[in-house]
Amino acid sequence: MIWYILIVGIIVPQSLAHPGFFTSIGQMTDLIHTEKDLVTSLKDYIKAEEDKLEQVKKWAEKLDRLTSTATKDPEGFVGHPVNAFKLMKRLNTEWSELENLVLKDMSDGFISNLTIQRQYFPNDEDQVGAAKALLRLQDTYNLDTDTISKGNLPGVKHKSFLTAEDCFELGKVAYTEADYYHTELWMEQALRQLDEGEASTIDKVSVLDYLSYAVYQQGDLDKALFLTKKLLELDPEHQRANGNLKYFEYIMAKEKDVNKSASDDQSDQKTTPKKREVAVDYLPERKKYEMLCRGEGIKMTPQRQKRLFCRYHDGNRNPKFILAPAKQEDEWDKPRIIRFHDIISDAEIEIVKDLAKPRLRRATISNPITGDLETVHYRISKSAWLSGYENPVVSRINMRIQDLTGLDVSTAEELQVANYGVGGQYEPHFDFARKDEPDAFKELGTGNRIATWLFYMSDVSAGGATVFPEVGASVWPKKGTAVFWYNLFASGEGDYSTRHAACPVLVGNKWVSNKWLHERGQEFRRPCTLSELE
């Protein structure tokens, strides 16, 4: 059931406050084909209507000529027995046929197709999720509303614009979430585009209604009063604005009285609260994380860079890699992050993607308290799990990971394939279970996640880096490569510097697959050390 609450007169549907879920690029491309099919069906309907109208026009032209002749000499016309017969026939039979033609519904095929396809349409939750993705990208990549509205994003192939109505809808989504910071930004953008003369189905009164309240909620009473007066210039009878005007003037008069009664050195100071920006964040490293996503991370010193190398790696004389060793590159020193180049072929990537696509579901995380899998707002992607026994390519990939890392994959989790569309992300997290999560992998019975292997199965036009906020590392997607790092020290203690994140995809499409390797089976492959942090 949808229910509403009144906030200074603006009605908000509470059902929209439910966080939307993200649809992957694979599903979005399916929607493109669905829409194309509907457009074809619509054009068929238009053609049928045009054919029908053409028939009606021919009837009209024929009857127009006939009646024009007949009305010049009605008695002489009907005095001809053939004309008399044909007049009776037309009025009794042919006009009924014309009526049936006019009443014939040509839309059946189109409406039937639309009804069938509608079951695959996105819903309100999807639309809200897409809007939130835009707001997320705006913050992460420091984009202003005008840049987004004009489609001036890096790496775009198909430039697209936001209308004033689109901007208004984005502002409404933010408003529904009580995010008045973004409400103000997008309502102002909508207002600018309307002021520039853009034709739109929305009016300035509606925009100013939301904008004035969003500004008031952020503590800028002067601006809220100014915008309310501007609204009333356009619609003097606006009931809510008239009420708000009186309220704002009352608050300002009250503040003026307080200022007068204050000491002389404080009499000129305003008591209006300082304007708020983005709400207090639950993520302490947000600023550092977003800087890394933009490529503004900590630059490694020359001394440390000298210790990073590229090399050929034969998997400790593994027969499979002696004649064709793997290309290895050091991405970071502490924690040690290694990239393997040309380690998965395009053909293998396509097979893995084809296997995963039918199974893609909203990605989940393991609840540290209950151990249950659940969706969360900070992990937005679609994922699927592939077992080695179901396809020889998956089995071959698993063995390649074992040969190159020297770790036993028989106790590893299945290959997880993930698709991040526009705005898709996974905020900073650990892959391993901390000491306060003793039951995180209890059901697996294979111990903690000792290491992570991550394949990049696509290039990304903009965004989508894997970043490590604790140390300032950014690893950028490159198709056909993989990165590897240990989550645990050899002692079994967790390496907290491996806290990492998947940055939002700004433009394009990101496919990855990862293998989480566990402690069980690695006792002799990676022996425990005497030092806790080695």
The predicted structure's pLDDT at residue 371: 57
3-state DSSP helix/strand/coil % of the chain, to nearest 5: 45, 15, 35
Instruction: Select the more confidently predicted residue: 225 or 443.
Output: 225
Predicted confidence at residue 140, as pLDDT, reads 93
SS3 281: coil
Task: Tell whether domain 297-433+440-518 is in CATH 3.40.50.300.
Answer: no
Name the residue ranges covered by the structural domains of the chain.
21-119, 124-256, 297-433+440-518
pLDDT digits (tens, 9 = 90+) for 50-107: 999 999 999 999 999 999 999 999 988 888 888 888 888 889 988 999 999 999 998 8
CB under 8 Å to 268, separation ≥6 — which residues? 259
- How far is the first Cα of the chain from the last one, in angstroms, to the nearest whole number? 56
Residue of higher predicted confidence among 76 and 13: 76
Report the SS3 class of residue 282. coil
Q: Phi-psi category of 50—alpha, beta or left, where left has phi over 0 and alpha has psi -120 to 50?
A: alpha
349, pLDDT greater than 90:
yes
What integer pLDDT is reported at residue 2 of this predicted model?
Answer: 31
**What is the C-alpha separation between 204 and 229, in angstroms, rounded?**
13
pLDDT in tens, 125-156: 888 888 988 999 999 999 999 999 998 888 77
> Residue 462: what pLDDT?
92
Four-way CATH pick for 124-256: 1.10.600.10, 1.25.40.10, 1.10.3720.10, 3.10.150.10: 1.25.40.10
* C-alpha to C-alpha distance for 502 and 379, rounded to whole angstroms: 9
- Per-residue model confidence as pLDDT tens digits over 357-389: 989 886 655 555 555 555 555 456 788 999 999
Asked whether the predicted pLDDT for residue 350 surpasses 90, the reply is yes
Query: Who wins on pLDDT, 528 or 471?
Result: 471
* Residues across the chain: 534
Would you state the pLDDT for residue 325? Answer: 96
The answer to whether residue 162 scores a pLDDT higher than 90 is yes
Q: H-helix or E-strand containing 518? A: strand 510-518
The count of other CB atoms within 10 Å of the CB of residue 331 is 19
Rounded Cα–Cα distance for residues 78 and 83 (Å):
6
pLDDT for 375 equals 56
Confidence of residue 298 (pLDDT cuts 50, 70, 90): confident
Structure tokens at 294: 């933009």
pTM: 0.79
Cβ-contact 529, 490 below 8 angstroms: yes
Rounded CA-CA distance 487/496 in Å is: 8
Strands 379-380, 361-362: pairing kind = unpaired
